[in-house]
Amino acid sequence: MALSLLASAASAQTDDFQAWLQALRQDAMTQGIAAATLDRAFAGVQPLPRVIELDRQQPETTLTFAQYIDRVAPPARRDAARRHYLDNQALLDQIGQRYGVPPRYIVALWGIETDFGQKIGTFPVIASLATLAYDGRRSAFFRHELIDALQIVQNDRIDPQSMIGSWAGAMGQSQFMPSSFLNFAVSYSGNGPPDIWNKPDDVFASIANYLARSGWQAGQSWGEQVTVPAGFDSSLDGMPQKRSLADWAALGITRADGSALVAAQADSTNRAALLQPGGSDGPSFLVTDNFNVILRWNNSSYFAIAVGYLADSAK
């Protein structure tokens, strides 16, 4: 009897999903998606229970800054960033020159997102996005990403079966959501659609293009760790509090090694914000406008500082 009830519930869910999918097909066609594209993309697509499970099991606990850095940018990954930069230096330098983005930031983002291309995910992107759009916490967001994924299949002629990624639909070695793929993914050689799954030149160029088009400023670092004097005014901590390096130096802030801020950079008008992500007892950083660009990739100061750490390690 129990098995019969479970089978009935599963059948009802399948019917509901297919009805939802038919309505989405109609919506997609009004947005220019051809019926043939929809047939290819949705062939055999069913809700993925594992995706729903992962979505509903998002961790509620918040890592401290120190815990986050230990997890995302541990010494082993910093060493690996250097090795991967050296292994790909010729290609990375070419791409860096084309886009005006230092290669070390490309390596850092590649390392954090997929452990340098080793962990791109195994979920079918179309099915994952359809599952989350049908039964997720952020249905509207994932519905938009699903439509963008269909645009990729149609316009870039990418086999939907090869579009694999994370359970949330982030794709390839750069972990681009479909909207980011449409906006920033590039074919470095110009031959064929971008392949951020298998081609390192496309992966690196797409990351660089993302940063460049998001406002990356050549010749400027992400920031650096600094030392603040005892009794420093904590109200000056935060992204809106941008000041020149000369102003920060006048308030007693030095580089982490104790040397003067302005001596380290002749342009004393370069403005930076003070961040203390672990509180006043943790490390302090002065961060630049390029830090804000990294935040456009992932709006987390922990993430952006981890990128900075890895980028500095890859020099």
Burial 47-79 (b: 16+ CB within 10 A, else e): bbeebbebbeeeeeeeeebeebbeebbeeebbe
What's the distance, CA 160 to chain centroid? Answer: 22
Q: Is residue 179 a contact partner of residue 130, using CB atoms and an 8 Å limit?
A: no
Q: Is residue 152 a contact partner of residue 119, using CB atoms and an 8 Å limit?
A: no
How far is 308 from 130, CA to CA, in rounded Å? 35
How crowded is residue 303: how many other Cβ atoms within 10 Å of its Cβ?
18
The sheet with strand 284-287 has its strands ordered as 243-244, 271-275, 284-287, 223-227, 254-255
CA angle (174, 176, 179) in 5-degree steps: 155
Residue 113 known to be catalytic: yes
Pairing type for strands 223-227 and 284-287 reads antiparallel
Amino acid symbol at 286:
L
Closest CA relative to residue 240, chosen from 218, 271, 278, 269? 271
CA distances from 78 to 139, 262, 270, 311 (A): 37, 28, 28, 8
How far is 54 from 169, CA to CA, in rounded Å? 12
Among the listed residues 60, 113, 145, 224, the single catalytic one is 113
Cite the active site residues.
113
